[in-house]
Structure 1
């Protein structure tokens, strides 16, 4: 049994096929099959039901995946534990929402890298719900997301980092007008309601008894900003304070009275195998969190 074979097993469980797993771990499909066969020989059992078109984990396979996840997490955490009292070592796979990437995260990562030069960081972006699921499956070690919104994956814990606001954004032509009142009159470009932020916006619109005229529904803040800048409507989106300051060609106003906010947190699994690394990241982000 090898760690590489266990990582391959996790990739198959995550991606749902040997072909996609091979791409993810940079191996040929035949090499992936050989690694699975090696694990099955070691465990003396079948890990996949191959009678179906798409390989499906057997009961034993599900157990093997859970244990593999624990073993890999423990192994990846060794470097953090033996790197000395001050300097951290090891690898941390981080997921982050777009507002964090456009806000305080770059400065926080730069500071973390300067303080711990032997710490290897990889970054992936996405929406909160997607990132939480990737932490749950072990694809990511931690994720900077909004606070958990039901339904959400179980077995996760969060550390509060900072808060950010929801903002009404409108074309420059509406400068000086009551943007909140205009929401019910102008075409509304809606943030995807499958996203946690989209659900928060929808809930607040209902609380305010605002009936909006949805013209489109998008899952990208950048795309929404471009649509609004093109004069195609108004929107409500979460923005880091740094993003608000950089907006050009648009006007914006706080959404809700008082302004609707969301808490940004660091998500990790309950086992906290990379606890020291995650704690260092949380400290760096909090130190560079937006204030105004």
Structure 2
């Protein structure tokens, strides 16, 4: 048994086929098959059900994948634990929602790079629900997301970073309208309900018994803001105070009473594969978030 064979096993479980796993770990398909046979001989147990056309893990295979992830997490974390004089070294595969990319995250990453030149962060963007699935699959070490909303993968843990309020945004010149009138009497540009923020908005609209006239449903907050600024409707989006101040002269009112809030968190697997690296990133983000930060 070697670390490379364990990485192959985890890749098969992650990508669902020997072919895609081979591409991910830069091996031939025959080499991947040899790795599986080697592990099955070492463990004296079949890891895949070979009566199926696609690789399906046996019960023993599921246990082996779980242990392999734990072993690889411990090994990959060694570099981050051995930095000279407290220096952070290693790589963090990070996911982030769009509001984080437009908010505190870039400044936090810049501060970390200056303090720890050998600490590398690879950033991918996406919606919270999508990023949670990628963490669960082992594609990401951690992600800056909104607080999990069911359904979501089990086995994930979150640490709070900062809070954002939900705001009704409308074209300029509508300041005299109340919140209820804005939402019911204008075309509504809805935040995609596949996103956790979109589900939160939808739940609150139902609680308030407000019927809206949905004409668009978008997954980009920037796109929603541009649509509203062009006079095409009103919307509800989460914003930090810093982002709120940058809006191009739009009408802004708090959404719900009391104002609906969301918590932005650092999401990880329970075994916390990124360890000290993720913890350092969380502290850097809180430092940049200012009075909206949530300190543990």
TM-score normalised by length of structure 1: 0.89
Deviates more, 1:160-169 or 1:70-79: 160-169
- Residue by residue, what CA displacement relative to the aligned partner does 1:148-197 show, whole Å, maximum 9, x if unpaired? 22233222222211101212222335455435421111121211223211
Matches within 5 A, 1:102-121: 102-121=102-121
Deviates more, 1:69-78 or 1:187-196: 187-196
Q: Which residue of 2 aligns with 1:6?
A: 6
Deviates more, 1:181-190 or 1:278-287: 181-190
1:50, distance to aligned residue in structure 2 (A): 2.9
Deviates more, 1:276-285 or 1:138-147: 138-147
Kept in 1: contact 2:162–2:289 (CA 8 A): yes
Kept in 2: contact 1:104–1:290 (CA 8 A): no
Q: Could you tell me which runs of 5 or more consecutive residues in structure 2 were left unpaired when the two chains were aligned.
A: none
Matches within 5 A, 1:1-292: 1-172=1-172, 174=174, 176-248=176-248, 250-289=250-289, 291=291
Q: Give the aligned CA root-mean-square deviation in angstroms.
A: 2.3
Kept in 1: contact 2:170–2:182 (CA 8 A): no
Deviates more, 1:75-84 or 1:240-249: 240-249
CA pair 5-247 structure 1, distance change in 2 beyond 3 A: farther
Kept in 1: contact 2:97–2:145 (CA 8 A): yes
- Residue by residue, what CA displacement relative to the aligned partner does 1:9-39 show, whole Å, maximum 9, x if unpaired? 2222122122333333344434433333333
1:280, distance to aligned residue in structure 2 (A): 0.8
CA pair 50-248 structure 1, distance change in 2 beyond 3 A: farther
Q: Could you tell me which runs of 5 or more consecutive residues in structure 1 were left unpaired when the two chains were aligned.
A: none
The residue matched to 1:182 in structure 2 has which SS? helix
1:97, distance to aligned residue in structure 2 (A): 1.3
Aligned length: 292
- Residue by residue, what CA displacement relative to the aligned partner does 1:182-232 show, whole Å, maximum 9, x if unpaired? 111112121122321112111221222211112232323233334334433
Kept in 2: contact 1:193–1:199 (CA 8 A): yes
Kept in 2: contact 1:103–1:241 (CA 8 A): no
Q: Hey, what's the Cα distance between the residues in 2 that align with 1:34 and 1:239?
A: 51
1:236, distance to aligned residue in structure 2 (A): 0.9
- Residue by residue, what CA displacement relative to the aligned partner does 1:56-87 show, whole Å, maximum 9, x if unpaired? 11112111110111011101111122224521
CA pair 31-239 structure 1, distance change in 2 beyond 3 A: farther
Kept in 2: contact 1:164–1:263 (CA 8 A): yes
CA pair 248-38 structure 1, distance change in 2 beyond 3 A: farther
Q: Hey, what's the Cα distance between the residues in 1 that align with 2:15 and 2:96?
A: 20
CA pair 53-197 structure 1, distance change in 2 beyond 3 A: same
CA pair 58-236 structure 1, distance change in 2 beyond 3 A: same
TM-score normalised by length of structure 2: 0.88
Q: Hey, what's the Cα distance between the residues in 2 that align with 1:198 and 1:176?
A: 26
